[in-house]
């Protein structure tokens, strides 16, 4: 019932011309399919080259890695949702743990970004996840509930339909130490229960919850076969067209 979604987060990797070369190789490997949605999230500077290389009829969609909550104005160095929309973005990653930890994004900031994305018609991918210390001290559920409470605060049922959650345990991101499918499945179920509690069962049933954290071509299938996991947010392994194509194949 939920179409799997595979998102490649390039982080601060690839120039505009490297983005063009990636798309050229990637399009040879990935068959267009209605069974899985694919999003590439390059750096802002490569959005235009990736968009034009994909071509107007591609099923592969464009996403951004961040946005500012204001529409325009004196915010040097920032990018607004409407600017991203104008570049062809459909999705935007919000509250990635690297933004939270390296750039001090707080739950309040993430909330404003989710609202700004929705207001301009972008689909936010709200990232949540606990640190290793938080997991080891039994705080996983509390931390994720706080992140969800802030990020989803006051959203209507209609808004919620366009939101995707990405569960990304901080200790699994870029470490090569993925969560087990049991660990991920447990958190995914508690995220769905959180949504069912505050909104309706139907909203929870349709919401896509992705797993992210050291997903590779080798382990993707074990995550994607789990009924609680609706796709993947992929960092390192999405930079290579071949590995990313294999992850997408695992979702098909
Ligand atoms: C990410 O950046 O969202 C991520 C999950 O990275 P990696 O796949 O490299 O762990």
3-class state of residue 221 by DSSP: helix
Specify the DSSP element, H or E, that contains 27: helix 16-29
Say if residue 246 carries a ligand binding annotation. Answer: no
**CATH number of the domain that 239 lies in?**
3.20.20.70
- The most distant pair of C-alpha atoms in the chain lies apart, rounded to whole Å, by 49
Please tell me the distance between residue 14's alpha carbon and the centre of ligand 1 in angstroms: 16
Q: Which residues contact 49 (CB under 8 A, 6 or more apart)?
A: 16, 17, 19, 20
Q: What is the pLDDT of residue 121?
A: 97
236-246 per-position pLDDT tens digit: 999 999 999 99
Q: Got the DSSP string for 147-209?
A: HHHHHTTT--HHHHTT-EEEE--GGGTTTS-PPPHHHHHHHHHHHHHHHHHHS-HHHHHH-EE
Q: What is the pLDDT of residue 34?
A: 83
3-class state of residue 22 by DSSP: helix
pLDDT < 50 positions in the chain: none
For ligand 1, atom 1: residue with the closest CA: 235
Provide the whole-model pTM: 0.97
User: In which domain, by residue range, is 106 found?
Assistant: 5-251
- Looking at the structure of the chain, the number of domains it has is 1
Per the structure block, which two tokens stand in for 79?
A: 């990018």
Q: What is the pLDDT of residue 196?
A: 94
Per the structure block, which two tokens stand in for 73?
A: 């104005």
Do you know the residue count of the chain? 252
Residues classed as catalytic? 96, 168
């Amino acid at each position: 019932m939920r179409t799997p979604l595979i998102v490649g987060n390039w982080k601060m990797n690839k120039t505009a011309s490297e983005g063009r070369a990636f798309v050229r190789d990637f399009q040879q490997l990935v068959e267009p399919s209605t069974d899985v949605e694919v999003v590439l999230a390059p750096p802002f500077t490569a959005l235009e080259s990736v968009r034009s290389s994909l071509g107007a009829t591609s099923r592969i969609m464009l996403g951004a890695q961040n946005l500012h909550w204001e529409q325009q104005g004196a915010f040097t160095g920032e990018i607004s949702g409407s600017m991203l929309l104008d570049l062809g973005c459909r999705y935007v990653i919000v509250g990635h743990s690297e933004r939270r930890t390296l750039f001090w994004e707080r739950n309040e900031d993430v909330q404003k970004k989710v609202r700004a994305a929705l207001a301009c018609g972008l689909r936010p991918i709200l990232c949540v996840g606990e640190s290793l210390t938080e997991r080891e001290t039994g705080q996983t559920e509390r931390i994720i509930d706080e992140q969800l409470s802030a990020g989803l605060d006051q959203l209507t049922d209609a808004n919620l339909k366009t939101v995707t959650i990405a569960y990304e345990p901080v200790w699994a991101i870029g470490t090569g130490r993925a969560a087990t499918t049991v660990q991920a499945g447990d958190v995914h179920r508690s995220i769905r229960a959180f949504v069912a509690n505050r909104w309706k069962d139907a909203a929870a049933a349709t919401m896509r919850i992705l797993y992210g954290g050291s997903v590779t071509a080798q382990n993707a299938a074990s995550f994607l076969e789990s009924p609680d996991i609706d796709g993947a947010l992929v960092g390192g392994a999405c930079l290579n067209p071949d590995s990313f194509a294999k992850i997408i194949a695992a979702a098909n």
